[in-house]
């Protein structure tokens, strides 16, 4: 996969644009940065035949350390940008937004909006044997208690332990992933308190965190890690009416700041998202 920085996304699929657009649902996907690409990767892995607009708010990442009011304002601007591109449904590929303001967005915008928490909670309940589920997330996500509430709604009697990992997102956004010594020390610092517990299922509650799957898994051997992007992608067609065809999904990429990490990490770490042009937009105008 090669992500470029200028020009327009163009694919030679052998299908006329007008015919293809009539047959395919256009969905919007957004995140505070490159973490949402892990969700996009899984959507493309499990769902062919879609037109996708991806927006990464690279100028204002991370969202997880902001106030709820600021997160909501950013999220509404992201939604308005995607609506301006003609999307018919929106996937919030951001754990923080899903945890703090998805109800607000659903009340204000009459379009199907799917977050990462509901599908992840259902899958975690299915996976756990001990009944003790861990959640790694940003400060805003953990403080919201959104995962514990949703898991409790799905199944009574489950224990949920949240661990805030605020340094993970800036480390990943700056390319410090997996085997970097600083990242490994940070993983140890955050996860040491839950290492010798009966947690058997761990939700990677921020879409950036799958970039650290190997490091987290090595520190917590035997614990099953749940990629919230995979859980969402597998339930997407059940949650949102999708009109698809047999052609590969097309993706147009937009960011709010030109970030080399967005391209380089996606290029190196993700395997299912299509190549495309990355265009910079002024999100503050929405």
Give the CATH number for residue 87: 3.40.50.1860
Mean of per-residue pLDDT scores for the chain: 88
Q: Are residues 189 and 274 part of one domain? A: no
List alpha helices for the chain, DSSP H: 17-23, 36-46, 68-84, 95-100, 102-108, 117-127, 139-144, 146-154, 168-173, 181-191, 213-219, 228-239, 260-269
Would you say residue 11 has pLDDT above 70?
no
% of residues, the chain, pLDDT over 90: 71
Would you say residue 116 has pLDDT above 80?
yes
- pLDDT value of residue 40: 94
Residues 6+ apart with CB under 8 A from 200: 127, 128, 129, 130, 132, 222, 223, 224
- pLDDT value of residue 106: 96
Mean pLDDT in residue range 98-125: 95
Q: Are residues 164 and 208 part of one domain? A: yes
Give the total number of structural domains in the chain. 2
Would you say residue 131 has pLDDT above 50?
yes
Q: Are residues 268 and 209 part of one domain? A: no
Distance CA(95)–CA(8), nearest Å, equals 29
Q: Are residues 122 and 111 part of one domain? A: no
Using one digit for the tens of pLDDT, what is the confidence trace for 39-84? Answer: 999 999 988 888 999 999 999 999 998 999 999 999 999 999 999 9
Of 207, 227, 247, the residue at which a domain comes to its end is 227
205-244 in b/e burial notation, b at 16+ Cβ within 10 A? bbbbbbbbbebbeebbeebbbbbbbbbbbbbbeebbebee
Q: Are residues 211 and 222 part of one domain? A: yes
- pLDDT value of residue 260: 72
Q: Are residues 177 and 134 part of one domain? A: yes
Q: Are residues 110 and 25 part of one domain? A: yes
Q: Are residues 91 and 64 part of one domain? A: yes
- pLDDT value of residue 99: 94
Q: Are residues 258 and 207 part of one domain? A: no
Q: Confidence class of residue 2 from pLDDT cuts 50, 70 and 90? A: very low
Q: Are residues 67 and 139 part of one domain? A: no
- pLDDT value of residue 204: 97
Would you say residue 148 has pLDDT above 60?
yes
- pLDDT value of residue 1: 45
- The two tokens of residue 99 are 């945890």
Tell the burial category of 167 from Cβ atoms under 10 Å away from its Cβ (0-12, 13-18, 19+).
Answer: middle
Supply the range of the domain harboring residue 217: 117-227
Using one digit for the tens of pLDDT, what is the confidence trace for 238-282? Answer: 877 777 677 778 899 999 997 677 777 777 778 888 877 889 999
Mean pLDDT in residue range 91-116: 95
pTM of the full predicted structure? Answer: 0.85
Q: Are residues 110 and 167 part of one domain? A: no
Residues annotated as part of the active site: 94, 206
């Amino acid at each position: 996969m090669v992500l470029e920085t200028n020009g327009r996304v163009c694919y030679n699929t052998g299908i006329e644009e007008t015919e293809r657009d009539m047959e395919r649902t256009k969905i919007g996907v957004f995140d505070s940065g490159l973490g949402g690409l892990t969700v996009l990767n899984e959507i493309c892995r499990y769902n062919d035949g879609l037109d996708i607009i991806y927006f990464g708010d690279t100028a204002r990442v991370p969202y997880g350390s902001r106030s709820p009011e600021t997160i909501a304002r950013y999220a509404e601007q992201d939604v308005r940008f995607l609506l301006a591109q003609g999307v018919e449904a929106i996937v919030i590929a951001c754990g923080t937004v899903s945890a703090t303001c998805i109800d607000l967005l659903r009340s204000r915008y009459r379009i199907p909006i799917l977050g990462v928490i509901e599908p992840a909670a259902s899958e975690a309940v299915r996976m756990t044997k001990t009944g003790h589920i861990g959640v790694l997330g940003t400060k805003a996500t953990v403080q919201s208690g959104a995962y514990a509430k949703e898991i409790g709604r799905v199944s009574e009697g489950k224990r949920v332990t949240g661990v805030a990992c605020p340094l993970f997102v800036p480390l990943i956004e700056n390319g410090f992933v997996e085997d970097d010594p600083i990242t490994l020390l940070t993983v140890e610092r955050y996860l040491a308190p839950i290492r010798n517990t009966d947690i058997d299922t761990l939700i990677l509650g921020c879409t950036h965190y799958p970039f650290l799957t190997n490091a987290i898994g090595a520190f917590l051997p035997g614990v099953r890690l749940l990629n919230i992007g995979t859980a969402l992608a597998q339930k997407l067609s059940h949650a949102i009416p999708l009109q698809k065809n047999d052609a590969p999904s097309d993706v147009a990429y937009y960011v709010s700041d030109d970030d080399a990490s967005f391209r380089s990490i996606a290029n190196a770490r993700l395997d299912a998202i299509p190549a495309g042009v990355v265009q910079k937009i002024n999100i503050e105008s929405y």
